[in-house]
Amino acid sequence: MCGIVGYAGTAPAQDASSSTGQRALEVLVEGLRRLEYRGYDSAGIAVVGANGIEMRKKSGKLVNLLEELSSNPVSAASTGIGHTRWATHGGPTDANAHPHVVDGGALAVIHNGIIENYSPLKADLVASGHTFLSATDTEVAATLLAEVFRGLPEDGAGSSEGAYAGIGGRLAQAMQLVAQQLEGAFTLVATHAEEPGVVVAARRNSPLVVGLGDGENFLGSDVSGFIDYTRRAVELGQNQVVTITADQVEITDFFGVPAEGREYLVDWDAAAAKKDGFASFMEKEINDQPDAVAQTLLGRNDGAGNLTLDELRIDPAVLKTINKIIVLACGTSAYAGQVAKYAIEHWCRIPTEVELSHEFRYRDPIVDERTLIVSISQSGETMDTLMAVRYAREQGAKTVSICNTNGSTIPRESDAVLYTHAGPEIAVASTKAFLAQITATYLLGLYLAQLRGNLFQGQIKDILAELAKTPAKIATVIANSGQIRDLARSMSETRTVLFLGRHVGYPVAMEGALKLKELAYIHAEGFAAGELKHGPIALIEEGQPVIVVVPSPRGRDSLHAKVVSNIQEVRARGAMTIVIAEEGDESVREHAEHVFYIPETSTLLAPLLATVPLQIFALELATAKGYDVDQPRNLAKSVTVE
Asked if 10 touches ligand F6R (CB under 6 A), the answer is: no
List the interface residues with ligand F6R, window 469-528 (CB under 6 A). 514, 518
Helix axes 607-624, 457-479, angle to 10 degrees: 20
Binding string, 50-89, against ligand F6R, x = CB under 6 A?
A: ----------------------------------------
Asked if 430 touches ligand F6R (CB under 6 A), the answer is: yes
In whole angstroms, give the CA distance from residue 252 to residue 244.
12
Choices 93-101, 376-384, 572-580, 593-601; region in contact with ligand F6R by CB under 6 A: 376-384
Say whether 274 is catalytic: no
Query: Minimal distance in Å, beta carbon 385 to ligand F6R?
Result: 5
- Separation in Å, CA 124 to CA 95, 96, 128, 173: 22, 21, 6, 21
Asked if 439 touches ligand F6R (CB under 6 A), the answer is: no
In whole angstroms, give the CA distance from residue 133 to residue 238.
30
Q: How many CB atoms lie within 10 A of CB 122?
A: 19
Indicate the residue among 487 and 513 with the shorter CB distance to ligand F6R: 513
Indicate the residue among 295 and 379 with the shorter CB distance to ligand F6R: 379
Query: Minimal distance in Å, beta carbon 193 to ligand F6R?
Result: 37
Q: What is the DSSP string of 79-109?
A: EEEEEEE--SSS-S-TTTSSPEEETTTTEEE
What is the 3-class SS of 548-591, one letter each residue?
EECCCCCCCHHHHHHHHHHHHHHHHCCCEEEEEEECCCHHHHHH
Which H helix or E strand runs over 377?
strand 371-377
Indicate the residue among 134 and 430 with the shorter CB distance to ligand F6R: 430
Query: Minimal distance in Å, beta carbon 281 to ligand F6R?
Result: 12
List the interface residues with ligand F6R, window 257-296 (CB under 6 A). none
The residue from 84, 378, 401, 470 that contacts ligand F6R (CB under 6 A) is: 378
* Peptide bond connecting 632 to the previous residue in cis, omega within 30 degrees of 0: no
Indicate the residue among 224 and 301 with the shorter CB distance to ligand F6R: 224
Indicate the residue among 32 and 422 with the shorter CB distance to ligand F6R: 422
CB 125 within 8 A of CB 151: no
In whole angstroms, give the CA distance from residue 493 to residue 348.
46
List the interface residues with ligand F6R, window 601-640 (CB under 6 A). 638-639
Residues in the interface with ligand F6R (CB under 6 A) total 15
Question: Amino acid identity, residue 605?
Answer: L
Asked if 382 touches ligand F6R (CB under 6 A), the answer is: yes
The residue from 138, 245, 338, 377 that contacts ligand F6R (CB under 6 A) is: 377
Selected catalytic residue, list 284, 432, 517, 637 = 637
- The strand pairing partners of 384, in sequence order, are none
The residue from 136, 217, 385, 544 that contacts ligand F6R (CB under 6 A) is: 385
Q: What are phi and psi of 299, to 5 degrees?
A: 75, 15
The residue from 379, 494, 601, 623 that contacts ligand F6R (CB under 6 A) is: 379
Say whether 625 is catalytic: no
Query: Minimal distance in Å, beta carbon 291 to ligand F6R?
Result: 19
Binding string, 301-340, against ligand F6R, x = CB under 6 A?
A: -----------------------------xxxx-------
Name the residue whose CB lies closest to ligand F6R: 331
CB 638 within 8 A of CB 222: yes
Query: Which one, of 187, 137, 146, lies nearest residue 35 by Cα?
Result: 187
Indicate the residue among 289 and 385 with the shorter CB distance to ligand F6R: 385
CB 391 within 8 A of CB 360: yes
The residue from 234, 326, 367, 429 that contacts ligand F6R (CB under 6 A) is: 429
CB 420 within 8 A of CB 437: yes
Selected catalytic residue, list 2, 330, 348, 403 = 2
Query: Which one, of 404, 365, 363, 409, lies nearest residue 262 by Cα?
Result: 409
Just list the catalytic residues: 2, 637
Q: Which residues of this chain interact with ligand F6R, rule CB under 6 A?
A: 330-333, 377-379, 382, 385, 429-430, 514, 518, 638-639
